[in-house]
Amino acid sequence: MKKIYLYGNWKMHMNKAETEKFFIDFKPAYEIYKNDPDLEVGVFAPFTSLWAAAEGAKNNGVIFGAENVYFEPKGAFTGEVSIPMLQEIGVTHIILGHSERRHIFNEPDDMIAKKVKAVLDANIIPVLCYGETLDERESGKTFEVMTRQLKSAISNLKPEEVRKIIYAYEPVWAIGTGKSATSEQAQEVCEWSRNLIADPKVVILYGGSVKGSNAKELLSMKDIDGALVGGASLKPDTFLEIYKAYKN
């Protein structure tokens, strides 16, 4: 069996108390999966909940990370958080280039590339998101857009850096809509991505309305190594149900 990455992106949900409660409920639910070598669980929390997430993650042996970071180590960048600040909390993974950063906050490709490089230099694993909007898909631009997004982030990196990144294909039209890509659509893009990245060993996740009811189909696909989950990751039972459904 392949190793499955089950990563939860909490977005702007889960304050400190909710994070603590999540891990209290998570502990007994996770007991049966705890020693499963084929599963890696990760939780990506808002900045203000990261200390609580650090504690909860340590107690459960799961990974935790941030949802964004700035690439400069310090300075006059009002409102931003640096990589050393996140290292102080023990963050090992950081989501970068999420479509909500790209589209709501207008983060350009070159800024995302700088973040990817800075995060790698700090020995933290970037979880690099990419994917097309509905308009781009319908006008036949899916692969053109993703080539730009991926190439701008990785073209100046060494092969070992490219391999360290965890990639997450997230079609924008499938995020938070309840309408997942079909397993064939997701597989097609993940396989194409693996070829573009030109490294058969890279980890590629799919994200966009993943839940218990579609997990088996999606995660059984050859080029999909796991899921980056939004809504269903906010509760331990709906989150872990995704892996349970895949295994059954």
88 is catalytic: no
Catalytic residue among 100, 107, 136, 170: 170
Interface ranges with ligand 13P (CB under 6 A): 9, 98, 170, 175-176, 207-210, 228-232
Taking the complex as a whole, the smallest distance from the CB of residue 17 to ligand 13P amounts, in Å, to 22
Taking the complex as a whole, the smallest distance from the CB of residue 170 to ligand 13P amounts, in Å, to 5
Nearer to ligand 13P, 27 or 235 (CB): 235
Taking the complex as a whole, the smallest distance from the CB of residue 210 to ligand 13P amounts, in Å, to 6
Nearer to ligand 13P, 39 or 229 (CB): 229
Closest CA to 40 of 232, 223, 219: 219
For the record, the structure tokens of 16 come out as 């400190």
Nearer to ligand 13P, 76 or 104 (CB): 104
Nearer to ligand 13P, 96 or 228 (CB): 228
Taking the complex as a whole, the smallest distance from the CB of residue 103 to ligand 13P amounts, in Å, to 11
Nearer to ligand 13P, 83 or 215 (CB): 215
Q: How far apart are CA 131 and CA 112, in angstroms?
A: 14
Taking the complex as a whole, the smallest distance from the CB of residue 9 to ligand 13P amounts, in Å, to 4
Catalytic residue among 67, 93, 98, 132: 98
161 is catalytic: no
Q: How far apart are CA 168 and CA 2, in angstroms?
A: 17
The residues that are catalytic are 98, 170
